Chains A and B, each alone.
Chain A
């Protein structure tokens, strides 16, 4: 299969391993461009699945894995539209990103997110679709959505609930604090913590190990132990849209977009 090189991401298949690299400046924000290329990737997945055993997601940017949804684009688009149109646009975006993330979550490949630096909001949600998260010790995870008067909208809560205890989910969600890779490993989110700059190497070594096992057994195991919480994911879209229509969100987005604060992800 031919490699793909887009503006926001690229992928290639080598030795039974698909590597999906994010590389959209400034920090792989998930806006319309990233979404469109993720959709292209989701369309290519059936073909890739027939030729590979593992998928590695990583970022080529030194600043981190992904800062989440493109809030600047969201603010620019929604403030230029009537409320009802803006809400319809948000719902459409959520339906599309959920479709892509559900597809990655359900992939027959064994999926590994190799993360470093900022892994926030939608970036964290993208990593949560993967079977394993391997983190550089400088990785930081955070769900800062409450600062905007929102909840995570790309499947974060249902997937976090699937993997972790409810008290941990509440801590991350309700405080909006960020945690480091060591903490993330302690709570069971991250499977391996490695030295700075070593996450991709460790992910490749893990993918090579996974390739030694019978494929059908791996696919059956994954299906058995990793159910996809479709009902809660659907509920999440509805809740997000309900919250999005309140004036507090517009004010929160405006504040974030205009902020020059050293910690703009905090309220």
Chain B
């Protein structure tokens, strides 16, 4: 019984991890396509302001596109200080 529960917990964890990875991947793909940056040049831990070369207006544009793509609301203050794609993905993941 205990091992069955453990297996289920493990499979749930794997499913969740895959979803988190998928979220990150989708962010990178969306950002690369919209800001015309080669996808392979964007790494999960990169500073997205630098990697995408975006200013404050383009940051708002990215925020809106991410909200639309994932159908979530992302209050600006939750993203304050967030500079890398991986953390951004975790913020989105928390609202899916």
Task: Name the one of B64, B79, B80 contacting A138, with C-beta atoms under 8 angstroms.
Answer: B64
A185 close to B (CB within 8 Å): no
Known contacts A182-B68, A262-B55; A175/B60 CB under 8 A: no
Asked if A261 contacts B56 (CB within 8 A), the reply is: yes
Question: Which B58-78 residues sit within 8 Å CB-CB of chain A?
Answer: 59-61, 63-65, 67-68, 73, 75-77
User: Is A178 among interface residues, defined by CB-CB distance under 8 A?
Assistant: yes
Contact B73 A178 (CB under 8 A): no
* Nearest CB of chain B from residue A33's CB, rounded to whole Å: 21
Interface residues of A, CB < 8 Å — how many?
23
Which chain A residues (9-35) contact chain B, with CB distance < 8 Å? 27
A110-124 interface code vs B (CB 8 A; 1 in, 0 out): 000000011000000
Interface size on B, residues (CB 8 A): 19
Q: A175-B75, A175-B77 are in contact. Are A262 and B68 (CB under 8 A)?
A: no
**B57 at interface, CB cutoff 8 A:** yes
Assuming the contacts A177-B75, A177-B76, asked whether A262 and B64 have C-beta atoms less than 8 A apart, the reply is no
A42 within 8 A of B: no
Q: Shortest CB–CB separation between residue B67 and chain A, in angstroms?
A: 5
- A53 lies within 8 A of chain B by Cβ: no
Q: Are A262 and B76 in contact (CB under 8 A)?
A: no
Tell whether, in the assembled complex, residue B73 and residue A179 are in contact, meaning their CB atoms are under 8 Å apart: yes
Q: In the complex where A138-B61, A177-B75, A179-B73 touch, is A264 in contact with B56 (Cβ < 8 A)?
A: yes
Chain B interface residues (CB < 8 Å from chain A): 49, 54-57, 59-61, 63-65, 67-68, 73, 75-77, 79-80
Sample (28) of A-B pairs whose CB atoms are under 8 Å apart: A27-B57, A64-B57, A117-B57, A117-B60, A117-B61, A118-B60, A137-B64, A137-B68, A138-B64, A140-B60, A140-B64, A175-B75, A177-B77, A178-B63, A180-B73, A182-B67, A182-B68, A183-B73, A262-B49, A262-B55, A262-B59, A263-B76, A264-B56, A265-B56, A265-B76, A266-B76, A266-B77, A266-B80
Partner-B contacts on A (CB < 8 A): 27, 63-64, 117-118, 137-138, 140, 142, 175-180, 182-183, 261-266
